[in-house]
Amino acid sequence: MLEINNLHVHYGGIHALQGISLDVPDGKIIALLGSNGAGKSTTLRTISGIVKPDEGEVVFNGENILGLKSFEVLRKGIAMVPEGRKVFRNLTVFENIEMGAYIRNDKKEIEEDIQDLFRLFPRLEERKKQSAGTLSGGEQQMLALARALISRPKLIMIDEPSLGLAPVLSQSVLRKLKELNESEGQTILLIEQNARAALSISDYAYILETGSIVLQGNANDLIRDDSVRKSYLGVH
């Protein structure tokens, strides 16, 4: 579905991405792991059209989408849930979800999709008339995810969904992602600070260090790899 080939990005004198290549197959969960500053968020921001690369390709369903604006990338079927949730705090839960459907004009189907999302996230239905700013961190993360899903993306990219959440809430968010993948076939590209949790729900993973991919493989293999366990999972 998504192919990244030899992607280079500079921020001034910093070579943030140094020729990375990766694949995101249809219907899979792919994890991007690594420490802060490794280039994970830059990768997602480049795919979504926010950052312009110096070199390389981003091919989505056979089309090179580099150079497209963010809203054009969304229309192609790639939605992004940014780090920090970033909901519209003064709008209600329902209005936030509606905002995610701005590229659609099929009103009846949008209404049906919102009801489907409320079945997936029942807590959001309970709070649909509340201002988003009054929600807990976990609820805001669910709302940010629902707002992205209402656009009917073929690929959803999620940046640090458990950041700042209590362990129980972060596990709940990641379970929802796995449920989406298994029940709906949703393709997901995931950045997650908790490497063990990310590997537990992913099919394949890439590990970045200072702008380069240093390791990749099936998630089940990586979680048993001694070097990964010592460097990223805190197991010695």
Residue 236: per-residue pLDDT: 46
Three-state DSSP state, 8: strand
The structure tokens 């963010």 sit at: 70
Q: Domain locations in the chain?
A: 2-232
Q: Whole-angstrom Cα distance, residue 91 to residue 108?
A: 22
The two structure tokens encoding residue 212? 């380069």
Other Cβ atoms less than 10 A from the Cβ of 28: the count is 18
Q: Whole-angstrom Cα distance, residue 75 to residue 57?
A: 19
Share of the chain above pLDDT 90, in %: 75
The two structure tokens encoding residue 35? 């420490």
Confidence of residue 70 (pLDDT cuts 50, 70, 90): very high
235 or 49, which is more confident = 49
Quick check: 101 pLDDT over 80? yes
Residue 235: per-residue pLDDT: 54
Residue 162: per-residue pLDDT: 83
Determine if the pTM surpasses 0.85.
yes
Three-state DSSP state, 27: coil
**Residue 14, φ and ψ in degrees, nearest 5:** -95, 125
User: May I ask the CATH class of domain 2-232?
Assistant: alpha beta
The structure tokens 């249809």 sit at: 26
What's the mean pLDDT when you consider all of the chain? 92
Residue 234: per-residue pLDDT: 62
Over range 100-116, report the average pLDDT.
Answer: 93
Q: Which residues, at least 6 apart from 66, have a Cβ–Cβ distance to it below 8 Å? A: 53, 56, 57, 58
Quick check: 119 pLDDT over 80? yes
CB 73 within 8 A of CB 49: yes
Q: Which of 63-72, 96-105, 131-140, 158-167 has the lowest mean pLDDT?
A: 158-167
Over range 8-37, report the average pLDDT.
Answer: 95
Over range 77-102, report the average pLDDT.
Answer: 92
For 128-171, what is each residue's pLDDT tens digit? 999 999 999 889 999 999 999 999 999 999 999 888 778 888 88
Cβ burial 42-57 (10 Å sphere, 16+ → b, else e): bbbbbbbbebebeebe
Q: Whole-angstrom Cα distance, residue 40 to residue 209?
A: 9
First-residue to last-residue Cα distance in the chain: 37
Confidence of residue 106 (pLDDT cuts 50, 70, 90): very high
Residue 35: per-residue pLDDT: 87
Share of the chain above pLDDT 70, in %: 99
Residue 12: per-residue pLDDT: 87
